[in-house]
Structure 1
Amino acid sequence: MFPFPELRKGQDAMLDDCRTAFAAGEHLLAHAPTGLGKTAAALTAAVEVAQERGLLVVALTSRQTQHAIFVETLKRIHAQKPLKIVDVISKQDMCPRDDLDESRYGVFQAVCTALVRNNDCSYHAGYSPQFLPQVFDEPLSAADLKTLCREEVQCPHRVALEAAQECDVLICDYNYLFTPWSDVVWDRIQRPLEEVLLIVDEAHNLPDRIRLSASPTLSLQRIREAQREAGQALRAQLSILERLVESLTEHKGEKEIDGGSVSRMLDAALKQKLTDLEGFVQLLERSAQRRLQRGKVARMGDVAEFLHHWRFLKKDSDLRLAHGGDKPWQRKLSLRLLDPASISAPVFRAVRGSVLMSGTLKPRSFYRDLLGLDTERSRKATYSSPFPPENRLLLCVDDVSTLYRNRGDPLYRKLAASLTTVAQATPGNVAAFFPSYALRDEVASRLGEHGKALLLEERGASPAKRTALLGRLQQRDALLLAVMGGIFGEGVDYPGNLLAAVAVVGIPVPPPSLEQKKLEEYFERKFGDGKGRLYAQTYPAVNRVLQAAGRCIRSETDRGVVLLYDNRLGHRPYRRFLPKEVRHCTSSAVPALVRSFNGPRTGNPPS
């Protein structure tokens, strides 16, 4: 059933490990470098075991762009053994209606709900179970399904969820299983988790995605915007919330508050207006939906969503904060989920078996603990890179430190000068990834003449702008400056040796904050043994460094230079994560080393 003519080095071991884990009902944490073929190994093993035992394979990804490799691999498996395969993304992205194509997400949801309720959507109303066999004729990507459903006047998202009830393999986003509200969607699929073999792609992203999904914020400015939308009675109730938030945010900075007390205070005040907190949220939701159906912004919906989170998240694994400030947008309440295991552990306990895989899944015990995997059901495996080590020059530049106390003009000039020489010495594209936009901009403003087109990642750039920037890289004469943890530092592949050099500047350690302090304290209480700071700060930061560094070499024929600019990476606790072939040097030695590597291949680079 393996979809390719031969197994790569290390891929055979991963395939065997995946088979064992799925058959034994275990969780395999697989550190599998880029190029190993982990998708083919995991899917082959999962399909084999699932077909033998009548189980469902669910493959989860963190980004829509990662669906394609699953679909293409399954097409190859399908050619050997026919499978029923469903690829599903968000309802809005699958919707074939042209009149809703550019709608804001909230507007789309409200209009879609109203159209379906009133039977005014021809695509939804046209659904027929007799259409499903066409979906299974061959593996279809979500885009292919959308095209087919447009022609047949069927709702693609409804078709996908109906088809998921009888499919063999389901490809979907983390959100289908790992948010506080995932059970609402999963109930429509009607497949018990006990019959699921789970594959989690890019699993290093899962803890943060879970925390982000359950960490909303509500500002005083947003409440006042909602008041301007509301009718008289609702405006009076929003005024109660406004006064409460004002009283909680009179201080400077941030402080922890008791979420239960705040809820009780708000509930008691609302009862004077003949309602309670639950009734207030429901009224906000109905009023927001009416505005959204008319295509208007509905801040009332934002308020309702925040209060819904605030009421229901578990008190022992989240943090409630009040933030003071001079401006209304600075004065806010926020909820921060501390422990992703409160959401993920029940899922992993329920599924038959799982494989969590990533090229940077280290240390595996960190991810096991953070996601709440049962120790006795968990196995760990590391696989070597299949790429020739001589194709990469890996340098750690030891005379640079981006610690906050070292930041200033001398550091910015030193980094700019070194990156300028790297760009000059490298034929092709160079990418540099920074821990923040602020540091990136300081260095960018001091670059010398490097002879390349300067490309800057935009904060919050639209998909169209990101695509345009990637298109510009095809000319292979650019210097891209981006941030670690962003779309270009993790979520984008660079095939065909698109990047000839990658520089990773600094370590993206989060700045001190009350939230960070509480996170460290929580992990120390839960896991002990000095793991608080490691789990809250060190391991997430080094993962982003390694993800950015991994953008350079994407195939066995790629060649490139990877530079790590921070002397901390040569010391504990970071150095254990660096490959053995890393070479330490000073910034003054970088130009000669890079030129030698990029020159005629007659020998090793100079020492």
Structure 2
Amino acid sequence: MNSSPPAATDTTPLQNVSVRALCAFGAKAGDLDFRFVPAPSAQEGVAGHLLVQARRGADYECEVSLSLAFEGLRVRGRADGFDAERLRVEEIKTFRGEFAALRANHRALHWAQAKTYGWMLCCVRALPAVDVALVYLDIASGEETVLEEHCSAEALRTHFEALCHRYMAWARQETVHRTVLAQELGALAFPHAGFRAGQRELAEGVYRAASTRRCLIAQAPTGIGKTVATTFPLLRGWANQGTDKLFFLTAKTSGRAIALEGIGLSAQSAKSLRVLELTAREKACEYPGRACHGDACPLARGFYDRLPAARADAVGQRRLDTATLHRVALAHTVCPYFLAQEMVRWSDVIVADYNYWFDGSAFLYALAKQEEWQVAVLVDEAHNLLERARGMYSAPLDLAALDQARATAPAGVRPTIDRLRREWLALQRDQSDTYVAHDDVPERLQAALQEAVAALAEHFAQAPETAQGPLQRFFFDALQFARLADALADHSVFESLRPTTDTAGRLAIRNLVPAPFLRARFAASMTTVCFSGTLAPFAFYRDMLGLPQNTAEVEVASPFQAHQLDVRVVTDVSTRYRDRPRSLPQLTALIGHTYARRPGNYLAFFSSFEFLEQAHARFVHEHPSVPTWTQSTAMREAEREAFVARFRVEGRGVGFAVLGGAFGEGIDLPGDRLIGAFIASLGLPQHDAMNEVMRERLDARFGDARGYDYTYLYPGLRKVVQAAGRVIRTEQDAGVLYLFDERFAWPEVHALLPAWWAVGRCRTDAAHAPDDPAPHPSSQ
């Protein structure tokens, strides 16, 4: 919806702006240019600045803090260096490769920053003129290339004021926007006539956490309206809590759509609220396969010249979802993906994937730190964050990928790849087992890896047009591996998988506990709320994710009643691998008996595709008249949608699925679209060498023999509870749940099942009636 910003006056108090943001807004021009040139890492950049600063004389001042007001706009920043004797201000930049390859639009931005600091120094220290220098340090050689201009204070003032004037209209607009938004949000009314059961408890927990600057971990059942319960209190308390941005993070694309809908409902009377959806580059790209620069893509050509008009159009849209951004971007012939990144600064609520905040190079995290925003973070379906974060801080390397990279590598790079391959094979030559875990990466292997990474970086810097295909992919993988190898500690493990007749060799840094990497993310927010329907035990997630010790906890009781779900543990069926041949006839017979007694839609979950296929084949043979449909490996989106669509109102049949897969969570089948589920597994991860290494490491890290629970029991039972949660979706639903395996009745397992379940027992030879309720754990 288009809306004009409120009118501003010259007396409107204006916001602070960093030198970086001011110059990025007003000084960039020309093309987008993201042709790959290996950039120095953050650590290398810091080291490069320190190297340049250490070379200067005694009168050289480092990291000079500056702040200057202009017509109410306060500009702040730190100049890299100022030589008081020579009256020279320096802006230091690090790079790799050919100096001539530095992008022209980047150079314009650097000059703008340097000249802004030049005027701030002239003004603060009453200087008539200064020398303004760009110092480019080649990380590889340590050589400096210096570009220098002598600038009068008057010329620098004119340059500074021109930048400020470009920004001023937006600064005034944004200040008025925030004032009006605070008023609207302060008067926000709850969007429903009343709270659902448990919804108020969750909302109050979120509000208290934000008000006291604490994190919150919350378990709340499906169906109470968690999106509204978490967004409404943060929006309602926006001004009192001093919020600049709200980041709503999801694990899946479908979660973003639900979030946008819930936010719209929570803030339906706040017409000024700007909501932005961030989409992955590959999904937002209008010209897939083309490089991101003006010579290859028409949406990159002249991007910064057309950006002001596109930005003005976009800011008038209340909801910048993917479709709206795409429409606005194409109307102005700019890239939708990079327009979305630009609009983060001018949006209030951003809906995005986990990686935008938690990844090692997370865009939202870096921008929030740079701009010193006060951000509230909502992590939806937070049980997914553990595995996602482990993936973010893990790095596999495949021998086949190395060989493919070598085949396309230039002659100058090939010797370093050959050395890496020799050290790789030497490590595995004496490896007695196929899989071995190590505490450290051997020095010779790590040195060879770093040499190969450096050689590839230099090659791509010299010939950026070759940055594609297997060589570039291997470089990125090796770079991530090298960085994580430098940070290797007891939170991760170095793994070696020897080549076999079926697989190529593999090395990996595998993260087990992402907590050390995520703590800074939690600390950077004023509050982070991790919420899910299955997020217990809280201590497990607090330990594994690195949530602060003072994290608040909320566990919302289920609105569902025991009589809605007939839960039975089948005690004479074992789903252990060795027992499956004997148990399979009993299992399929009970599914068939249940269906015959009450025809309708059912879901049957199994621990693997192999088990699923065996059960399905037997069931079809025994019950050929019952409709069935099955999950298969690598199902496409259309196939997944067709699977779910089979669960029609008043439909009949049994869907066969894998526990923990696409149909164990995130699908909503209320009423008689699903009236029962069979779960033939405790969901425990496989007892193999890799998981045993994890168990041992977690035992050593957390003590109290928690390794087994953290590796096997808690992750497995979470999948069971999630799958069972497909049956009861509303307070009007009713259904049946069979849990195949006597271990579900063990006290330590029973304790992890939802408290509202009344769990009975039955046997397959008497499936029509449950046994007496399970005895108290103390009597077992």
TM (norm. structure 1) is 0.86
Q: Pick one of 413, 421, 440 that aligns with 2:585.
A: 413
User: Which residue of structure 2 lines up, in the alignment, with residue 142 of structure 1?
Assistant: 322
> What CA distance in whole angstroms lies between the structure 2 residues aligned with 1:319 and 1:132?
49
Cα displacement (A) at 1:592: 5.9
The 1:150/1:559 distance shift into structure 2, 3 A limit, reads farther
2:205 to 17, 22, 30: 17
CA shift, 1:363, in A, is 0.7
Does residue 485 (structure 1) correspond to residue 660 (structure 2)? The answer is yes
> Judging changes above 3 Å, is the alpha-carbon distance between structure 1 residues 192 and 395 closer, same or farther for their aligned structure 2 residues?
farther
Q: Relative contact order (alpha carbons < 8 A, sep ≥ 6): 1 or 2 greater?
A: 1
* 1:174 alignment partner in structure 2: 354
| Equivalent residues in 2 for 1:367-446, closer than 5 Å | 367-375=541-549, 377-407=550-580, 409-446=581-618
My pick for the range that moved more, 69-78 or 12-21, is 69-78
Give 1:366 deviation, angstroms: 1.1
2:194 matched residue in structure 1: 6
Query: 1:68 and 2:257 equivalent?
Result: yes
Answering whether residue 538 of structure 2 is matched by residue 364 of structure 1, we say yes
Shift in Å, 1:41: 0.8
2: CA distance, partners of 1:465 / 1:122: 39
Give the SS at the match of 2:222: coil
Give the distance between the partners of 1:30 and 1:22, measured in 2 at CA: 14
**Aligned in 2, Cα 1:51/1:164: closer, same or farther, shift over 3 Å?**
farther
Q: Does 1:78 align with 2:267?
A: yes
The range that moved more, 20-29 or 424-433, is: 424-433
Asked whether the equivalents of residues 27 and 354 of structure 1 are also in contact (C-alpha less than 8 Å), the reply is yes
Indicate if the aligned counterparts of 1:35 and 1:387 stay in contact, CA closer than 8 A: no
Aligned residue identity for 1:586: R
Preserved CA contact (<8 Å) 1:429 1:499: yes
Query: After superposition, what is the alpha-carbon deviation per residue over 1:410-462, rounded to whole angstroms, capped at 9, x for unaligned?
Result: 12222222223334344332111222222222222211215343222222222
The 1:192/1:583 distance shift into structure 2, 3 A limit, reads: farther
CA distance in 1, matches of 2:764, 2:198: 35
Say whether the 8 Å CA contact 1:21–1:353 is kept in structure 2: yes
| C-alpha contact (below 8 Å) 1:221/1:329 kept by paired residues | no
Kindly indicate whether the alpha-carbon contact (under 8 Å) linking 1:19 and 1:49 is maintained by their aligned counterparts in 2.
yes
Distance in 2, Cα, partners of 1:141 & 1:217:
34
Identical amino acids, percent of aligned pairs: 26
* 1:418 and 1:590 in contact (8 A); partners too: yes
Give a deviation string over 1:61-91, Cα, whole Å, max 9, x none.
1111011221112222332122111111212
Shift of 1:253: 1.5
Structure 2 partner of 1:93: 283
1:385 Cα deviation (Å)? 1.7
SS of equivalent residue, structure 1 residue 387: coil
Q: Deviations over 1:215-239 (max 9, x none)?
A: 2322222222223333334344333
Take 1:75 and 1:459, find their aligned partners in 2: how far apart are those partners? 36
Change (3 A) 1:429 1:286: farther
**Which residue of 2 is the match for residue 261 of structure 1?**
442
| Residue in structure 1 matching 2:703, options 510, 514, 528 | 528
Residue type matched to 1:31 in 2?
Q
Tell me the equivalent position of 2:720: 545
Q: CA deviation at 1:571?
A: 0.6
Matched, 1:513 2:703: no
Aligned mate of 2:480, from 294, 305, 309? 309
Residue pair 2:299, 2:334 contacting (<8 A) in 1 also? no
Paired with 1:563 and 1:506, the residues of 2 have a C-alpha distance of: 11
* Distance across 1 between alignment mates of 2:740 and 2:459: 50
**Letter paired with 2:378:** I
Q: 1:4 to 1:394 in 2, by over 3 A?
A: same
The answer for the alignment partner of 2:675 in structure 1 is 500
Selected match of 1:228 from 402, 407, 411 = 407
Aligned counterpart in structure 2 of residue 342 of structure 1, from 516, 521, 527 = 516
Normalised by the size of structure 2, how large is the TM-score?
0.68
Give the distance between the partners of 2:427 and 2:217, measured in 1 at CA. Answer: 43
Q: Which amino acid in structure 1 is aligned with residue 391 of structure 2?
A: L
Q: Secondary structure at the match of 1:300?
A: helix
Paired residues of 2:559 and 2:731 also in contact (CA < 8 A): yes
Matched AA of 1:461: M
2:94 is matched with none
* Aligned equivalents of 1:321, 1:18: Cα separation in 2: 40
Alpha-carbon deviations, 1:384-404, whole Å to 9, x = none?
A: 222344332222222222223
CA contact (8 A) 1:503 1:562 kept: yes
Amino acid at match of 2:269: Q
Q: Tell me the C-alpha RMSD between the 2 structures.
A: 2.8
Q: State the alpha-carbon separation in 1 of the partners of residues 224 and 595 from structure 2.
A: 30
Contact 1:124 1:158 in 2 (8 A): no
Match of 1:355, as an amino acid?
V
Query: How many pairs align?
Result: 569
Q: CA deviation at 1:258?
A: 5.5
Q: 2:184 matched to which residue of 1?
A: none
Quick one: which amino acid aligns to residue 254 of structure 1? Y
- Distance in 2 (alpha carbons) for counterparts of 1:399 and 1:46: 50
Instruction: Give me the whole-angstrom Cα distance separating, in 1, the residues matched to 2:464 and 2:576.
Output: 48
Matching of residue 352 in structure 1 with residue 526 in structure 2:
yes
Per-residue Cα deviation, 1:548-576 (whole angstroms, up to 9, x for no partner): 11112222233222221121111132111
1:282 and 1:158 map into 2 onto residues whose CA distance is 25
The letter for the 2-side match of 1:232 is A
Query: What CA distance in whole angstroms lies between the structure 1 residues aligned with 2:548 and 2:337?
Result: 34
How far apart, in 2, do the equivalents of 1:465 and 1:291 lie? 38
Cα distance in 1, alignment partners of residues 480 and 642 from structure 2? 37
Aligned partners of 1:123, 1:550: CA distance in 2, in Å? 51
Residue 161 (structure 1) aligned to one of 341, 358, 362: 341
Please state how far the C-alpha of 1:117 moved relative to its aligned partner. 8.2
Match of 2:632 among 458, 465, 478: 458
Distance 1:500 1:256 in 2: 46
Q: In the alignment, residue 374 of structure 2 is paired with which amino acid?
A: E
Deviation at 1:543, TM superposition (A): 0.7
8 Å contact 1:426–1:501 — kept in the other structure?
Answer: no
Larger radius of gyration: 2
Q: Corresponding residue for 1:58? A: 247
